[in-house]
Structure 1
C-alpha cells in the first residue's frame, strides 16, 4: 500500500500548492439537489484531508464557478487536471474501469479520489494488518468493490439507467409483483429537498442559505451510508477473505468432492469470496453446495447449514435442503432426517440448524444425496 499512499501524499501536496494557502472552495449547482453531488461533496470534505475545511458554494453562475478550486456536477466540463467533474456534456461517455455505466459526479470523484479514500480507510481500520491486507492489490480490490456496491447505483440513478433493460422486460411480459417502495439511494437524498408548498424565506440570500442547509443534511445522510459501506469492506469483508480461502482449501477434508465448506470458529462474510475462489478454480471445480458455521463463537453454540445461493442476492439455492425437511422443527426434524439434535429447517429450504457441528454435518451430507 506504500505506493498508493505515496501517490495520495503527492496529490495532497499538489492541491496544497495549487491553492497557495487560500481556502479551497468546492462549487456545485444550487436548486434541487441529487445523490451524486451530495455524495461527491461528502467524499471530498470527509475523506480527502486537503478538502477538510473546504468552503461549499452552490450556484449556477459561471463567473462564480470559475473562481472555485473544484467544481462538481455543474459547469459543463470534465477535466481532472483542472478539478472539474461534470457529466452533463453531450459528448460525455466516461465509465469506471471495467464497467459500462456512465459516471455521474459521484463516480467521477470516486474514480479519481477513491483509491486515496480506500487506502486511508485500510490504514485506519487495520493498522496492524499483514502486508497482504494492506497491499496495493487490496486497495484496488476494495476500490472496485465499493464502486459496484455503492457508487454505481448512484451513477445509474442520476443518468437514468435501469437495472434491467425495460424493453427486454416488457417483451418478456415481466411485471413487478409488488411495489418495493422505490427507496433507492437517489430517493433517500431527493426526499430531503423541500416540498413544493413548504414555507421559504422571502429574502433570496436567506432562501439560498436554507436550501444549502438542506443540501448539507442530504450530503451527510448519504455520506453516512457510504462510510458504513467503506468501513464494512475495509474492516470486515477484506479480513474475511483469508478465512474463506482457508475454509475453501480445506473443504475436501470435510467432503471428498468439496461440496461442503465449514467455518469452525465463527462465520464471516463469505459469499463474494466463495464465488471469486470458485471462478478462479475454473469450470472443472466442484461448486460448494452447503456452508456450515456456528451461530456464535462459543463452545456450546448451535450450528447452521446454509445452502449456497445461485448468486449473492438470490433467494434460489444451488441445492436447497430437502423438501421433506422444510418447515419442520426439533424432534420432528430429527425423526425426518434421522439425525439427532435437529433445530429447524426454513420453509424455503435455504437454511437449517442442529444443536451440534456433528449433527449439522450429518444433515448436510444426507441432503447431498437427496
Structure 2
C-alpha cells in the first residue's frame, strides 16, 4: 500500500483510494493528487493493485476496474463502451478528466476559496481547456494535430519534444535499473514502485496547484478589467480596433472570449481588436506598449502586424519613419512596440491601422 513519507507521520485514515499497480501515467497521478486536495480525501491512504478483491474494498478507484460510475466512485476510462467527454469538448476523458469533471470545482475552491458562481465556472472551464484536456488526450493517444494532417500538409517537426511534456516527466519516475539491493521481496519492490508513483503524483499535483492559483490571482481578476476596456474601446477608434488596458495583465484569452460573446457587432464596428495598448508600469511617467493581437490559437501570427517600415527601427529613426514623436522601438517581428507616452502609443496604433 502506498503511503506518504513516514517522516511526516500523518495519520492516513480517510476513505481508501485505489489505482492500478505497475507502469503509471500522468492521468492517474493527477487524479490522485486532485482528490487529495479535497477535505474528504486529505488523509486518504492509497493502494495500488490490479486485484479486483482489493479494489472492491476501496472507497474510490481511478484508472482501473473497467467501470465508470460516479455514484460508486469508480473512474476508469479503458472500457470499450466509454465515450465520455468534458462538456463542450470532444476529447475522450482519462481518469484525470473524470476526476476533474466531478471534483474540479471543489478542488479549485479548496485552493482559491472561490464561492460557487460565474468566476468559479469560468476558471473550471479554463483549467480544463489549458491543462487537463492535454492529460486526457495524451493518455488516449490523441495528438494536438493529427500526424496524417501534418503529412498531408507537407509539414515536419523541427525538433522532438517527446521528453519535454509533463507526461514524459511522469514517465521518468517509472525508470529503474532494477530493484535496489534493499528490495529483497516482492512487497519491497512494490513499495519502491509506490514511492515513485507518489513522487510523480506530488509533481503533477504541484503543477495543477500552480496553474489554478496563478489563474485565480491574475487571469481571473483580469477578466473584469478587460471587459471594461472592451466596452470603452470605441472612444479610441470608431471601429473598435484598439483596446486600452489600464495596467499589464493577462488579456488575450479574455479578449477572444469577449469578442465571441459580443458577436455579431453593430454596423461600423470591427469584429476583432487589432492592437492592445498597456503601460509598462504603474509609475505616472511610464512608457506605453503597443501589441499586435495574435490570431487565436496561432502562436506568433498576428491579426495585423505593425507596419513593415517600422520593424526593427528604434528611437529617433522610428520617429522619422512613423511621423510620430516619442517612439522607443518596434520589434523586428512586428508584434510589439513602444512609445514614451500613452498619446504616442495611441498615435502609433491609429497610424498602423491605416497602413
Do they fold alike, i.e. is TM over 0.5?
A: yes
- Which residue matches 1:52? 42
Q: Which of residues 313, 317, 329 in structure 2 aligns to 1:332?
A: 317
CA distance in 1, matches of 2:298, 2:176: 35
Instruction: Give the Cα–Cα distance (whole angstroms) in 2 for the partners of residues 316 and 220 of structure 1.
Output: 36
Deviation at 1:99, TM superposition (A): 1.0
Q: Indicate yes or no: 2:160 matched with 1:160.
A: no
The 1:93–1:143 alpha-carbon spacing in structure 2 relative to 1, beyond 3 Å, is: same
Once structures 1 and 2 are overlaid, which stretch shifts more, 216-225 or 163-172? 163-172
Match of 2:63 among 55, 70, 73: 73
Residue in structure 1 matched with residue 220 of structure 2 by the alignment: 238
Q: Report the CA distance between 1:154 and its aligned residue.
A: 0.1
> Which consecutive segments of 4 or more residues in structure 1 shift more than 3 A?
119-122, 195-200
* 1:295 is aligned to 2:280: yes
Native 8 Å contact 2:38 2:110 kept in 1:
no
Is this contact kept in 2: 1:40–1:72, CA < 8 A? yes
Match of 1:344 in 2: 329
Shift of 1:135: 4.8
Q: Is the 8 A contact 1:121 1:234 kept in 2?
A: no
Match of 1:204 in 2: 186
Shift of 1:188: 1.9
Distance change in 2, residues 1:346/1:24 (3 Å):
same
5+ residue gaps, structure 1, are: 1-20, 125-133
The answer for the alignment partner of 1:9 in structure 2 is: none
Structure 2 unaligned residues grouped into runs of 5+: 1-11
Q: Indicate conservation of the 8 Å contact 1:271/1:312, yes or no.
A: no
Whether the 8 Å CA contact 1:38–1:222 is kept in 2: the answer is yes
Correspondence for 1:33? 24
Contact 1:272 1:312 in 2 (8 A): no
Equivalent position of 2:208 in the other structure:
226
* Counterpart for residue 157 of structure 2: 176
Deviation of 1:180 (Å): 3.5
What is the CA–CA distance in structure 1 between the aligned matches of 2:41 and 2:112, rounded to whole Å? 20
Report if the CA contact (8 A) 1:30-1:58 is conserved.
yes
CA RMSD, Structure 1 to Structure 2 (Å): 1.8
Instruction: Judge conservation of contact 2:179–2:189 (CA < 8 Å) in 1.
Output: no
1:316 and 2:298 correspond: no
SS at 2:61 equivalent? strand
Question: SS where residue 183 of structure 1 aligns?
Answer: coil
CA shift digits 1:169-217 (9 cap, x unpaired): 2222221133335422211211221234574623222211111111111
* Cα distance, 1:259 vs structure 2: 1.0
1:302 and 1:357 in contact (8 A); partners too: yes
> Quick one: distance in 2 between partners of 1:187 and 1:22?
32
In the alignment, the residues of structure 2 paired with residue 181 and residue 22 of structure 1 have an alpha-carbon distance, to the nearest angstrom, of: 39
Higher helix content, 1 or 2: 1
The corresponding residue for 1:114 is 104
C-alpha distance in structure 2 between counterparts of 1:339 and 1:216, whole Å: 59
User: Per-residue displacement from partner, 1:304-353 (whole Å, max 9, x unpaired)?
Assistant: 00000011552111110011111112222222112222211111100001
Return the alpha-carbon distance in structure 1 between the equivalents of residues 203 and 279 of structure 2. Answer: 35
Between 1:295-304 and 1:36-45, the stretch displaced more is: 295-304
Contact 1:260/1:364 (8 A) holds in 2: yes
Tell me the CA shift for residue 122 of structure 1: 4.0
Deviation string for 1:243-279 (max 9, x for gaps)? 0011011111111221111113x12111111111111
Matched, 1:145 2:95: no
**Paired residue secondary structure (1:235):** helix
Name the SS for the 2:289 alignment partner: strand
Count matched residues.
Answer: 339
Given that 1:96 and 1:103 are in contact with CA atoms closer than 8 Å, whether structure 2 keeps it comes out as yes
Q: 2:86 matched to 1:101?
A: no
